[in-house]
Amino acid sequence: MAENVLHVENVTMQFGGVIAVNSLTMDVNQGEIVALIGPNGAGKTTAFNVITAVYEPTNGKVAFYHKPMVENYPKGKMKKLYAGQNSSAYTQSISPTPDKITRLGIARTFQNIRLFKSLSVFENVLIAKHMRAKQNVFSATFGLNAKEEARMRAETIALLEEQDLMHLKDEIAGSLPYGLQRRLEIARALATRPKLLLLDEPAAGMNPQETEDLGAFITQIRDKYKLSILVIEHHMDLVMEVADRIYVLDFGKLIAQGTPSEVQDNPDVITAYLGVDEE
Amino acid sequence: MKKSTKTLCSCIALALLVGFLLYMETLKTTQGMAVSILQKGAIFSIAAVSMNLLNGFTGLFSLGQAGFMAIGAYVTAIFTIPTEKIVAVYYMNGVSEGIMSIKRALSFLPEPVLVLLALIAGGLVAAGFAALVGIPVLRLKSDYLAIATLGFSEIIRALISSPQMDKITNGSYGLKNIPGFGGENGLGCLLVPFGIAALCIVIMVLLIRSSYGRAFKAIAEDEVAAEAMGINLAHHKEMAFVISSFFTAVAGGLLAMYMRSIEAKTFQVILTYDILLIVVIGGIGSVTGSVIGAFLVTASKEWWLRFFDTPLKIGNFQVPLLRTGFRMVIFSLLLMAVVLFWRRGLMGNREFNWDDIPRFGRWVKRKFTKTPATEGGERNG
Amino acid sequence: MSLTTFLQHCLTGISLGGAYALIAIGYTMVYGILRLINFAHGDIFMMAGYFMVFAVSSMPWPIAIVVVIVGTIILGVAIERAAYKPLRSSPRMSIMISAIGMSYFLQNLATYLFSALPRAYPEIPLLKRIFQIGDLSASLVTFVTPVLTVLLVIVLMSIINHTKAGMAMRAVSKDFETSQLMGIKINNVISMTFVIGSALAAVGSILYFTDRMSVTPFSGALPGLKCFVAAVLGGIGSIPGAVVGGFLIGICETFLVALGYSTFSDAFTFLLLIVMLLLRPTGLFGEKITDKV
C-alpha cells in the first residue's frame, strides 16, 4: 500500500453549541486523489480550515507523513460543552500558524478565490517563493541575494509557462476572468512546492466544458508534480471521474467512504443528497 | 520611452536638484522661508514614506508616528546638544550622570559623525520600543490597532514630560540648543536633510521592491491568503512595524534639528494626523506620491495658502473671511475634498515614471478638449 | 488620604465619569452601526461647548441649553451626511481617514472662528450652587451629572429595546447588509444614531465644561479619545459597557491626579486600553465577533 500522506483522526470542530465537524477520521495516501463531498454546510471547508490550521480543532489530531501536525483537546469552556467523542484521547496541544502548514508542504486554494487582486499574475506566483528563500531582510533589501532572487524569478516563469499563464504575466490578477483566476490560484498553490494539494470547490462557477477540462487538469498536475490531492467538490461528474476514493460528510459527520462506485450506491448518501442537491 | 533615456532623465533631474539645493543654500539669508520649507518637506517625506510602508504597503493602520518621532527627536537632541551647553539646558533639574558620561565618551567625534550616530541611535531606540510594543499590539485588527498605537504615542509623550524623567528629558521644560543642520558656517543646511532623506527613502524603496516588500503587499491584500502562501504574519508585521518606526524616528531626529528646541507638546497626535494627511494626499501605496505630498503639503500650508491669513483690501472693498486661521480651514477643506472625491490621491498606488510626463500632457489635452469625466463617487448596494 | 478627601475625589471622579459616559455612548453607537471610530465626535463635543458660549450670551440659559442640543444634533448629522455617507462602500481605512480629516477640519474651523485662546464657559448659576453634605462640598453639577447620565441611559435603553426605531438600530448593528435587504431604511437609522450621539455629547459637554470653565478648539480631542477608550473598555457596541467604561476612566483619572501623577493620567487611560485589548479584546460587555474565512 502507498505511504500515508495525511491522516485526520477524530477531528471535532465545535463553535459554541454548533458542531461543524464531528469526529472526522480520514486518510490521503501518496499519489491519491481523494474527494470530500457532502451537502452545503456539511463541514467540508471547516475540515480544510482545521487541516491548514486556520482553525484550532476542539479535539483530535492531524498528522502529515506520520508526524503530528495539529492536535488539540477540549479546553476551557469546551470542557463542559464538548459534544464530540474521544475527548480524553488527546493530551497535547499543537496549534501551528497556517504558514507553518504551508511550509511543511500542504498548499490550498479557497472556495471564494483569494488572489492578491491588485498585484500582477507574476507577483502572485512569486510571493509563494518567499517562504523557502534563505535571504534575510538586510540581504534582500540591499540586493545581496541577487542569485536567489533570480532563481525565484526563473522558477516562477518556468511554472507560469508550464501552466500556460505566461502570456498573462503582467496582467493584474483581479482583472482576469473567473476561470483564469481559478487556474492562477492553483498555480500559486503549486508554486509553494506542495506534497499535498487541497482544492476547495475548484469547479465552482465553471461551465460543463470547463469542468471536464478541470478533471483532466487535476489528474495531470497530480502526475506531473507527484502530488496527493484532497478536493472538495459539488460536481458529481467531476468527482466520479477523478477521485480514487470519496468521503461523504453530512452535518459534520462522516456517513460513507469508499471508491466512487461504492459511495454512489450507498443508501445513506442517497438520503443525504435527495432533495438537497440538484444531482 | 527607452530605459536608457529614462536613466538619463533621472540623472539630469538629480543633477538639477543638487544644483538647485546648492544654489538655495547660498540664498539662505534672503530666502529663509523657502529654505525652511524645503528642509521641512525633506523631513516629512521620510516620515510619510515610512508611514506608507506600514499603512499602505503592509496594510497596518498605525497611528503611533508622533510617539516614535518623539523618541527619535529626544535621543538625537540628547546626543547632539553641545556638552558645554548641556548644563544650561537642564538648569532646573540637572543632567543624569549616564547622559554626561556618554557625552564625554563621545566628545572626540567630529560633529557630522556624532549627528549621524545620534540619528541612528534614535532610530534604534524607537525600533526597540516598536519591537516590544509590536508583539502584543500587532495582533489587533485595523481600527483597534490604530487606537492602540495612538494610545502608545500618548503614553510616550506622558513619559517624556513626567517629572520622573526630568534628568533625562528635562520634563516639561523641553530641550533647547539643539544644533541645526550644517553646523556653524551653515553649509549643508539643505544637503544634509535631503541627503539623509534620500538615503532613508532609497533604502525603504529597495525594501519594498525586495521579496519582503512583496510579502508585505501580500499581507495588505489578503492576510489569509498570505498565510496560505507560507508568510508568517506575526513575523512580517513586526518587521514592517520595526523598520517603519526606525525611519520615523530618524525623521523625528531631523525634526529636532530643524526646530532647534523640542518639548513633549511638539509630538501630539496632530503631528501623526499631519503625516497621515500627506500620505493620503500623495496616495496610499505610492512612495513618490508621499514625497511629492510632503513638499506640496508643507509648501501650501506654510507658504502658498498664507495669503488667506492676511486681511486684504482691494480698493475700498474689504475681502471677507481673510484673517488668521482661514488658511488652515481652506487646507482642511482641500483635504476633505481629496478624501471624498479623489480617493486615490495624487498618485494612487502607482509610482512616478518618466513616461508619465508625455502621458500627463495628453491627459491635460484630453481634459481641455472634451468634457471632463466624472471620477469616483460610485456606490453599490 | 482622609475619608473625607477620598469621598470628595470619588464624587469628582463619578461626575467626570458621567460626562465621559455620555460622550462614550456616541462612540459606541456609531461604531456598533458603521464600524467606524468617529474621530470627529470629540470635536462635535468641543463645538457644543462653543455653541453654549454664544447661546447663553443672547438668551436665558434654559432656552440656550435646548438651542445647544439642537445645534449639536444638526452638526453631527451634517457631518455624517457630508463626510461618511459618500464613503459607505469604500474600505474602512478611507472612512477612518475621513473621520480624522473631519476632526482636523472642525479644530481648524473653531480656531478660525473663535481663535485659539480659551473662552470662558458661561456659568449656569443653578448648576454652580455649592452644596454641603457633612464634610463634603461640591457644586450641584457634580451631583447632577451622574444622576442625569443614568437617567438618560435608562431612557436610551428603553428606546432601543422597546421601540421600532430601536429594533431597527439593533438589527443594523447585528448585520448591516441583511437589515438593508429586510427593508430597513439604513440612512434613517444611521441619522438617528448620530442624532442620539450628538444630543448626548451636547449634554455631556454642558456638564463637562461647567466644571472646567473654559473651552479651546483643542479641548475636545483628548477627552474624545478617552471616551473612545471608555467605549472599548466597556465593549464596543454596548451602551451599558460605555457607561461603565466612562465612569471607570473618570474615577481612575481623578485619583491619579489626586495622587500627584497628573502627567500620567492620560497615559494611564491608554495603558488601560492596551491591556484590555490584549486580555479581552471584546471589552467587558462586548460580544465576540468571528471572522469568516
- Gap between the Cα atoms of A36 and B251, Å rounded: 55
Contact B158 C97 (CB under 8 A): no
Q: Does C279 touch chain A (CB under 8 A)?
A: no
**Chain A environment of C290 (Cβ under 8 Å):** 15
Give the pLDDT mean for B176-202.
84
Instruction: Select from B269, B323, B343 the Cβ nearest to the Cβ of C90.
Output: B343
Rounded to a whole number of angstroms, the distance from the CA of B349 to the nearest CA of chain A is 10
Q: Does A98 touch chain C (CB under 8 A)?
A: no
Rounded to a whole number of angstroms, the distance from the CA of A46 to the nearest CA of chain C is 9
Residue of chain B nearest C273, judged by CA positions: B148
In tens, the pLDDT along C32-56 reads 888 888 999 999 999 999 999 999 9
CATH architecture of A1-105+194-279: 3-Layer(aba) Sandwich (3.40)
Rounded to a whole number of angstroms, the distance from the CA of A193 to the nearest CA of chain B is 10
Q: pLDDT class for C11, splitting at 50, 70, 90?
A: confident
Element (DSSP H or E) covering residue A63: strand A59-64
Rounded to a whole number of angstroms, the distance from the CA of B222 to the nearest CA of chain A is 6
Contact A49 C290 (CB under 8 A): no
- Position A31 scores a pLDDT of 92
Percent of chain C exceeding pLDDT 90 equals 41
Q: pLDDT class for B62, splitting at 50, 70, 90?
A: very high
**Chain C environment of B336 (Cβ under 8 Å):** 83, 98, 101-102, 105
Q: What is the count of residue pairs from B and C with beta carbons less than 8 Å apart?
A: 129
Contact C293 A54 (CB under 8 A): yes
**Chain A environment of B234 (Cβ under 8 Å):** 97
Q: pLDDT class for B374, splitting at 50, 70, 90?
A: very low
Give the neighbours of chain A: at least 3 Cβ pairs within 8 Å: B, C
Q: Among the listed ranges A25-29, A189-193, B250-254, C6-10, which one has the minimum average pLDDT value? A: C6-10
Q: pLDDT class for B184, splitting at 50, 70, 90?
A: low
Give the pLDDT mean for C207-228.
89
Give the pLDDT mean for A166-171.
91
Contact C293 A15 (CB under 8 A): no
**Chain B environment of A115 (Cβ under 8 Å):** 222, 225
The rounded Cα A189 to chain-centroid distance in angstroms is: 9
Q: Hey, how many other C-beta atoms are within 10 angstroms of the C-beta on C291?
A: 8
In tens, the pLDDT along B305-333 reads 777 777 777 777 777 777 778 888 888 89
Mean pLDDT of chain A: 89
Give the pLDDT mean for C121-136.
79
> Is residue A225 pLDDT above 70, yes or no?
yes
Task: Report the sign of the C-alpha dihedral through residues A256, A260, A266, A272, in that order.
Answer: positive
Axis-axis angle for helices C3-34, C140-162 (nearest 10): 30
> Is residue B376 pLDDT above 50, yes or no?
no
Q: pLDDT class for B183, splitting at 50, 70, 90?
A: low
The rounded Cα C270 to chain-centroid distance in angstroms is: 17
Contact A52 B228 (CB under 8 A): yes
Nearest to C284 by CA among C222, C242, C247, C225: C242
- Position B242 scores a pLDDT of 97
Contact A49 C293 (CB under 8 A): yes
Query: What are the backbone angles phi and psi of residue B358, rounded to the nearest 5°?
Result: -60, -35
Instruction: Name the DSSP class of A166.
Output: G
Contact B140 C270 (CB under 8 A): no
Rounded to a whole number of angstroms, the distance from the CA of C100 to the nearest CA of chain B is 7
Nearest to B208 by CA among B94, B120, B285: B285
Q: Does B232 touch chain A (CB under 8 A)?
A: yes
Read off the C-alpha cell for A25. Answer: 477520521
CB distance B221 to B57 below 8 Å = no
Q: Among the listed ranges A78-87, B139-148, B307-316, which one has the minimum average pLDDT value? A: B307-316
A-contacting residues of B 199-218, CB under 8 Å?
Answer: 203, 206-207, 210-212, 214-215, 217-218
Q: pLDDT class for C237, splitting at 50, 70, 90?
A: confident
Rounded to a whole number of angstroms, the distance from the CA of B210 to the nearest CA of chain A is 6
Cα angle for residues B100, B104, B105 (degrees, 5° grid):
120
Contact B228 A132 (CB under 8 A): no
Percent of chain B exceeding pLDDT 90 equals 41
Q: Does C91 touch chain A (CB under 8 A)?
A: no
CB distance B221 to A116 below 8 Å = yes
In tens, the pLDDT along B146-166 reads 888 998 998 999 889 888 888
**Chain C environment of B152 (Cβ under 8 Å):** 270, 274
> Is residue B125 pLDDT above 90, yes or no?
yes
Mean pLDDT of chain B: 87
Q: What are the helix (H) ranges across chain B?
A: 3-26, 32-52, 65-80, 83-89, 97-105, 111-137, 142-161, 166-169, 191-209, 211-221, 223-228, 233-259, 269-282, 287-302, 326-341, 356-369
Q: Does B155 touch chain C (CB under 8 A)?
A: yes
Instruction: Name the DSSP class of B165.
Output: G
Nearest to C269 by CA among B150, B135, B270, B161: B150
Rounded to a whole number of angstroms, the distance from the CA of A277 to the nearest CA of chain B is 30
Instruction: Name the DSSP class of A239.
Output: H
- Gap between the Cα atoms of B55 and C96, Å rounded: 13
Q: Hey, how many other C-beta atoms are within 10 angstroms of the C-beta on B96?
A: 16
In tens, the pLDDT along C88-107 reads 888 888 888 899 999 999 99
Rounded to a whole number of angstroms, the distance from the CA of C66 to the nearest CA of chain B is 28
- What single letter denotes the amino acid at residue B161? S
Q: Does A15 touch chain C (CB under 8 A)?
A: yes
Q: Does C291 touch chain A (CB under 8 A)?
A: no
Residue of chain A nearest B231, judged by CA positions: A99
Q: Does B234 touch chain A (CB under 8 A)?
A: yes
The SS3 of residue B213 is helix
Contact A54 C290 (CB under 8 A): no
* For chain C, domain boundaries: 21-224
Q: Does C282 touch chain B (CB under 8 A)?
A: no
Q: Does C86 touch chain B (CB under 8 A)?
A: yes
> Is residue A111 pLDDT above 50, yes or no?
yes
- Position B377 scores a pLDDT of 39
Contact A131 B243 (CB under 8 A): no
Residue of chain C nearest B283, judged by CA positions: C94
Q: Does C110 touch chain B (CB under 8 A)?
A: no
Q: Among the listed ranges A63-72, A109-118, B6-15, C43-52, which one has the minimum average pLDDT value? A: B6-15
Q: Does B245 touch chain C (CB under 8 A)?
A: no
Mean pLDDT of chain C: 88
Place of cell 556624532: B114
**Chain C environment of B381 (Cβ under 8 Å):** 180
* For chain A, domain boundaries: 1-105+194-279, 117-192
> Is residue B379 pLDDT above 60, yes or no?
no
Beta-strand ranges (E) seen in A97-233 are 106-108, 196-200, 228-232
- What single letter denotes the amino acid at residue B330? I
Read off the C-alpha cell for A128. Answer: 509563494
Q: pLDDT class for A279, splitting at 50, 70, 90?
A: very low
**Chain C environment of B64 (Cβ under 8 Å):** none
> Is residue B253 pLDDT above 70, yes or no?
yes
Give the pLDDT mean for B98-108.
86
In tens, the pLDDT along A123-163 reads 999 999 999 888 888 888 888 888 999 999 999 999 999 98
Residue C272 or residue C283, greater confidence: C272
Give the pLDDT mean for A79-84.
83
Contact B230 A97 (CB under 8 A): no
The SS3 of residue A198 is strand
DSSP C217-260: TTTTHHHHHHHHHHHHHH-TT-HHHHHHHHHHHHHHHHHHHHTT
Give the pLDDT mean for C57-80.
93
Q: Does B242 touch chain A (CB under 8 A)?
A: no
* Bridge-based pairing state of the strands A228-232 and A245-250: unpaired
Instruction: Select from B158, B276, B379 the Cβ nearest to the Cβ of C88.
Output: B379
Residue C135 or residue C160, greater confidence: C160
Contact B332 C115 (CB under 8 A): no
Rounded to a whole number of angstroms, the distance from the CA of A70 to the nearest CA of chain B is 16
The rounded Cα C258 to chain-centroid distance in angstroms is: 24
Residue of chain C nearest A111, judged by CA positions: C293
Q: Does B339 touch chain A (CB under 8 A)?
A: no
C-contacting residues of B 43-82, CB under 8 Å?
Answer: 55, 61
Give the pLDDT mean for A213-218.
90
> Is residue C25 pLDDT above 70, yes or no?
yes
State the Rg of chain C over Cα. 19
Q: Among the listed ranges A214-218, A265-269, C249-253, which one has the minimum average pLDDT value? A: A265-269
Contact A52 B217 (CB under 8 A): no
Cα atoms in the 13 Å half-sphere on the side-chain side of B110:
5
